[in-house]
Structure formats: structure tokens, C-alpha cells
Structure 1
């Protein structure tokens, strides 16, 4: 029997929507165990220039409660991606295709897969729509 495959993915997962659910479901289909890194509040501020709507504890609880997710951890730095992949035994790294090519360097330790984003949905667009209401 082949060794179980561990898939690791990362995201902010703020204002959780169907696009988030689909990427998690598709990532889970690529292996036997899914580990999800949820961006820390401070990391989100550095990446996006704004605080998330839901704090890191709430976002980790939401993602961790999803059936396909086996383990969740706090991603505190983009520069630690390699360390996270090694720590969690990644066989596959899954990212959205908006990051295409950005993580190819990790191909030496795991397979790197970029999944298409769900069209016409984004957290930023949702927040803007809500704030206009």
C-alpha cells in the first residue's frame, strides 16, 4: 500500500465563501491528509494592508471544522513556507492560480499545484459589496 499523501495549502480564509470551500475540497482530493495554514492577522496586514474581518482564532476554528481538513495551523510568515512544508510533511503544495509560478521553488521537496480560482468571487469584492450596502 502506498504511503498516505499529505497536501498542504495556505490562505487567509476571511469572510468564508464558496470559493474557499471549493479550493479546500479540491486540495483534499489530491491526497489523503489535508493540512491548512491560515494567515495570521499580522501577516494579513502585511500582505493586504488591512485587518481581516474575522480574527485568526475565528478563521482557524472555521477552517478546522471543515470535514476535508485534518489539521490547521497559523501561518505567521510567507518566508517560512518551506519550513511549514517540511514540518507538516507535504507531498503536495496547493495554491490558487493567482499565485502561479510564485512557489515553484518548492518543487524540490513536494509537488506544486496551482488550482483555478472560483470565477467572480473574492473576499475583497464581498467586503466592498457589504460596505456599500
Structure 2
């Protein structure tokens, strides 16, 4: 059974998230997803996620092509996660292109193109702009 692994925050879940997970799931029989912990998100992005780690894990776990979800607590543990889940392929968005090539001795590394003009950060900015306009 070919196992695919990917990682992300998956905050303010949107069509870009759905598409990358769907494409990742099509590469194998089992898709395992690491969802960044709240603390890791603060470390990476300098802000708390909109939705808690439990809510984000629940959203991702509810997708039909996701076989399992776990809490990613450290960027430095990616190799451990790959080995723990016996992943054959690591999938990431192409905004990370090249950054995970160091794991190519453990598994195949694939970068998928991001969905154009879609990002959680831009969605949050649009919401803030609309809130400011109302006030």
C-alpha cells in the first residue's frame, strides 16, 4: 500500500487546501496529513491560527481521501513523521519547492502547484478589510 504524507496549517480551509489534498490522495492508497499545532503556527507565521488545532484536524480528517491525521509539533521532526508513517511520498505545495529535497533519501518528494490567487493570508486580509469598512 503506497502511503502519501503531507503537512500544513489548513487554517480557514479553502479550495486550495482541498485541491492539494485531493491531488495528494490520488498518488497512493493512503493519505496521512500532519496538521501544524497552534504553537508551531505561531512560530512559523507569527500569529495564532483562526481555528484551533483540534478544529483544523477535524476538518481535514473529515475529507474522504484522508486516511489519517496527526498533530505536527515541530518542523524538525518531518523525517521522524515520514518514517513513523512509512511514507512513500511527501507532497508539499510549490511555495516550499526545494526545501524538502533533503528527505528524498527517505521517500519521493513531490511539489504541487498552488491554486492561483488563493491563500489563507489573503482571505484573512479581505475579511479584515471588509470589517474595517463596516466600522
> Which bin holds the TM-score, normalised by the shorter protein?
over 0.9
Matches for 1:38-117 after TM superposition, within 5 Å: 38-117=35-114
Which residue of 14, 17, 20 corresponds with 1:17?
A: 14
Deviation sequence 1:38-93 (CA, Å, 0-9, x none): 00000000000000000000000000000010000000000000000000110000
Distance 2:129 2:99 in 1: 33
Distance 1:55 1:15 in 2: 10
Q: Which runs of 4+ in 1 moved over 2 A?
A: none
SS at match of 2:28: coil
TM-score by length of structure 2 reads 0.96
Is 1:132 equivalent to 2:129 in the alignment?
A: yes
SS at match of 1:108: coil
Gap runs ≥5 in structure 1: none
Gap runs ≥5 in structure 2: 131-135
RMSD in angstroms over aligned alpha carbons? 0.3
